[in-house]
């Protein structure tokens, strides 16, 4: 009974969400139209042929509390969110599983990622026949947290007053980028206390940390790690192999063997330095390897000299350096279901199948021209299929600029819906925002937006360190509202 009532309520909620989402996406439609460039997020030159994920699906957001989606909702979501354990095994130990979740049959259809399986965990979890109609989407139940056809619902102790406390309601780490050069700003350091996860914004990039071969400058990275440690934050190292912020000595290496050995040495030395102390718990091992249309890797010294196998080599070196750190592949414009996301999905699937040590995928979610917004449905679906491989997902660098005409309410809604999608996928373990305040947001310096003469207003706090409504949207999503 209760479940049916919840089902109806969730249908109404979903209808309302769909209407809101349509409004949001029609505003964001401007972006979809405008997003043709392949502008890398770090300010390179735009090109053409970027992919603009479809925003027209308009299907429901995830299955509601206690048992899946309403009729007529996305079959992928219905199947994906209702059990179905990869390898047919059972899963358990989900984070804050929904109370009152019952069994729910998955949508008919063959799952490419494991099909039916029983999943039992959390209160009221029971078997769910998985299987995602529609192909690749996997199943939430596959990943150690499936709860028998239920969504993953936060359970808070008391009323959280910070993002990190709200994240704790579903055991998610809540992060921000931290830049060493802002640590002398007391508003910056005070606001950082809202978070329990830090990503050094630039300090561990290759040009900063190994500016000349074999000479390592750990001081700026150490500053961020020490700040994090003294504030009870964990750190995700960022980033070991990328095409930007690479010193010229790396680009000038002539032979493949010499480059591979420089890369392996870089990974080994940097990870060795940070592995003691337990603060740096994860790494973006390879960042942004794929071109935006998902057809091939960017042309970099790594891809051109080592071929695509450099990714496997990098992850193997990373695992050899630190057996305990989580190892992620991280990319932008690949959060939803699009060609680039498909390419990344297929790459990490292959890595898992080959036994390459990868723990998860970072979805950056930099949103706004030139990065077309993905629908929260698509983001959920993408997370579910990655989770079905047994991998974690982290939202790694989220910001949402308003230069395409978003209202504060629409920005709040988008933040809310993306965070809510993460909360609904047990394997989505962390949500990091790319800076807390607009004051220091990289978007201001990013020349591929249409923000000229406007305030991108992309973050959760404004230039004067006042919380924006987007902050409330994130808080709501984290506590399950």
CA distance linking residue 78 with residue 63, whole number of Å: 6
| CB 181 to ligand G3I: min, Å | 7
- The residue nearest ligand G3I at its CB is 442
The binder of ligand G3I chosen from 201, 291, 313, 335 (CB under 6 A): 201
Per CB under 6 A, 437 contacts ligand G3I? no
The binder of ligand G3I chosen from 298, 442, 461, 471 (CB under 6 A): 442
Per CB under 6 A, 223 contacts ligand G3I? no
Other Cβ atoms within 10 Å of 9 Cβ, number: 13
Report the 3 state secondary structure along the chain.
Answer: CHHHHHHHHHHHHHHHHHHHHHHHHHHHHHHHHHCCCCCCCCCCCCCCCCCCCCCCCCCCCCCECCCECCCCCCHHHHHHCCCCCHHHCCCCCCCCECCCCCCCCCCCCCCCCCCCECCCCCCCCCCECCCCCCCCCCCHHHHCCCCCCCCECCCCCCCCCCHHHHHHCCCCEEEEEECHHHCCCHHHHHHHCCCCEEEECCCCCHHHHCCECCECCCHHHHHHHHHHHHCCCEEEEEEEECCCCCCHHHHCCCCHHHHHHHHHHHHHHHHHHHHCCCCEEEEEEEECCECCCCCCECCCHHHHHHCCCHHHHHHHHHHHHCCCCEEEEEECCCCCCCHHHHHHHHHHHHHHHHCCCCCEEEECCEEECCECCCCHHHHHHHHHHHHCCCCEEEEEEEEECCCCCCCHHHHHHHHHHHHHHHHHCCCEEEEEECCCEHHHCHHHHCCCCCCCCCCCCCCCECCCCCECHHHHHHHHHHCCC
Judged by CB under 6 A, the stretch of 48-56, 99-107, 199-207, 424-432 that binds ligand G3I is 199-207
Indicate the residue among 257 and 445 with the shorter CB distance to ligand G3I: 445
Indicate the residue among 384 and 396 with the shorter CB distance to ligand G3I: 396
Report the 3 state secondary structure along 68-86.
Answer: ECCCCCCHHHHHHCCCCCH
| CB 42 to ligand G3I: min, Å | 4
Per CB under 6 A, 413 contacts ligand G3I? no
Cis preceding linkage at 19, omega within 30: no
Per CB under 6 A, 397 contacts ligand G3I? yes
Contact between residue 343 and residue 295 where contact means Cβ atoms under 8 Å apart: yes
Indicate the residue among 59 and 364 with the shorter CB distance to ligand G3I: 364
Judged by CB under 6 A, the stretch of 46-54, 103-111, 197-205, 386-394 that binds ligand G3I is 197-205
Per CB under 6 A, 185 contacts ligand G3I? no
Which residues are marked as active site? 288, 397
The binder of ligand G3I chosen from 3, 164, 205, 424 (CB under 6 A): 205
| CB 445 to ligand G3I: min, Å | 7
Indicate the residue among 116 and 204 with the shorter CB distance to ligand G3I: 204
Judged by CB under 6 A, the stretch of 95-103, 185-193, 201-209, 226-234 that binds ligand G3I is 201-209
Per CB under 6 A, 300 contacts ligand G3I? no
Burial class (CB in 10 A: 0-12, 13-18, 19+), 13: middle
Size of the site for ligand G3I (CB under 6 A): 12
The binder of ligand G3I chosen from 105, 196, 292, 364 (CB under 6 A): 364
| CB 47 to ligand G3I: min, Å | 16
Per CB under 6 A, 244 contacts ligand G3I? yes
Indicate the residue among 131 and 200 with the shorter CB distance to ligand G3I: 200
Per CB under 6 A, 245 contacts ligand G3I? yes
Per CB under 6 A, 237 contacts ligand G3I? no
| CB 449 to ligand G3I: min, Å | 11
Per CB under 6 A, 367 contacts ligand G3I? no
Indicate the residue among 442 and 461 with the shorter CB distance to ligand G3I: 442
Judged by CB under 6 A, the stretch of 133-141, 198-206, 376-384, 467-475 that binds ligand G3I is 198-206
| CB 244 to ligand G3I: min, Å | 5
Contact between residue 194 and residue 242 where contact means Cβ atoms under 8 Å apart: no
Per CB under 6 A, 217 contacts ligand G3I? no
Per CB under 6 A, 41 contacts ligand G3I? yes
Per CB under 6 A, 42 contacts ligand G3I? yes
| CB 452 to ligand G3I: min, Å | 17
| Chain residues in the site for ligand G3I (CB under 6 A) | 41-42, 201-202, 205, 244-245, 287, 332, 364, 397, 442
């Amino acid at each position: 009974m209760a479940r049916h009532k919840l089902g109806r309520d969730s249908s109404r909620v979903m209808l309302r969400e769909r209407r809101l989402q349509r409004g949001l996406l029609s505003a964001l439609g401007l972006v979809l139209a405008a997003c043709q460039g392949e502008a890398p997020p770090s300010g390179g030159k735009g090109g053409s042929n970027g992919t603009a994920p479809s925003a027209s699906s308009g299907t429901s957001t995830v299955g509601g509390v206690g048992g899946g989606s309403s009729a007529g909702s996305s079959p992928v979501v219905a199947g994906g969110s209702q059990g179905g354990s990869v390898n047919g095994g059972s899963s358990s130990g989900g984070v804050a599983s929904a109370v009152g979740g019952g069994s729910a049959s998955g949508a008919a259809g063959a799952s490419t990622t494991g099909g039916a399986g029983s999943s039992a965990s959390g209160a009221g979890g029971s078997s769910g026949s998985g299987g995602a109609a529609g192909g690749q989407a996997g199943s939430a139940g596959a990943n150690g947290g499936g709860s028998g056809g239920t969504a993953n619902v936060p359970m808070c102790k008391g009323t959280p007053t910070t993002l990190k406390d709200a994240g704790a309601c579903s055991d998610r780490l809540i992060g921000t980028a931290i830049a060493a050069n802002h640590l002398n700003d007391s508003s910056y350091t005070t606001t950082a206390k809202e978070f329990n996860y830090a990503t050094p914004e630039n300090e561990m990039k290759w040009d900063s940390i190994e500016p000349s071969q074999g000479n390592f400058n750990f001081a700026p990275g150490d500053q961020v790690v020490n700040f994090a440690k003294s504030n009870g934050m964990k750190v995700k190292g960022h980033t070991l192999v990328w095409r930007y912020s690479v010193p010229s000595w790396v680009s000038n290496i002539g032979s493949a063997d010499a480059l591979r050995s420089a890369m392996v040495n870089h990974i080994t030395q940097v990870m060795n330095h940070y592995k003691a102390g337990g603060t740096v718990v994860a790494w973006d091992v390879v960042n942004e390897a794929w071109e935006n249309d998902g057809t091939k890797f960017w042309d970099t010294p790594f891809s051109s000299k080592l071929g695509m196998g450099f990714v496997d080599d990098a992850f193997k070196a990373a695992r050899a350096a630190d057996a305990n750190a989580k190892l992620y592949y991280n990319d932008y414009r690949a959060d939803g279901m699009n060609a680039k996301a498909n390419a990344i999905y297929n790459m990490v699937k292959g890595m898992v199948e080959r036994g390459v040590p990868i723990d998860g995928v970072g979805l950056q979610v930099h949103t706004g021209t030139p990065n077309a917004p993905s629908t929260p449905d698509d983001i959920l679906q993408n997370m579910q299929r990655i989770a079905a491989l047994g991998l974690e997902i982290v939202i790694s660098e989220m910001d949402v600029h308003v230069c395409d005409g978003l209202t504060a309410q629409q920005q709040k809604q988008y933040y809310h819906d993306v965070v809510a999608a993460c909360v609904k996928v047990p394997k989505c373990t962390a949500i990091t925002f790319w800076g807390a305040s607009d004051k220091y947001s990289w978007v201001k310096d990013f020349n591929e937006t249409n923000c000229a003469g406007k305030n991108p207003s992309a973050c959760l706090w404004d230039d004067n360190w006042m919380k924006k409504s987007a902050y409330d949207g994130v808080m709501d999503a984290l506590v399950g509202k």
